[in-house]
Amino acid sequence: MGKRLDLQKLLLDLLGSGNVYYQPPSTTNMQYPAIVYSRDQIKTTYANDSVYSIKIAYEVILIDEDPDSIYIGKIALLPNCRWTKNYTMNNLNHDAFTLYY
């Protein structure tokens, strides 16, 4: 659990505000820009018939009113991160990333 809390701190520092949410319930009233993230997949590597390593991938979604948000580049520069898609919902821009952390 400590690694996820480290990721939470990293995203809070990156955004510079408290608008970072891990699997928020639908009743959460968010302020923007915001980052919403959740566990997406677990990548397991095997060696000698045993588990060698486990890497957890998170879906990180930046939600911002600005389609050219400065945070897109900041998230994209994180190690083991790749941009996956962009979409608009409720007049807000969503940029999704996959981040192995």
pLDDT in tens, 42-77: 999 999 999 999 999 999 999 999 999 999 999 999
pLDDT of residue 52: 93
pLDDT 10s digits, 22-37: 999 888 899 999 999 9
Domains of the chain: residue spans and CATH: 2-100 (3.30.2000.30)
Helices (H), ranges, 1-101? 2-15, 70-76
- DSSP string across 8-20: HHHHHHHHTSS-E
Number of H helices, E strands in the chain: 2, 5
Of 29, 81, 74, give the one whose Cα is nearest residue 57: 81
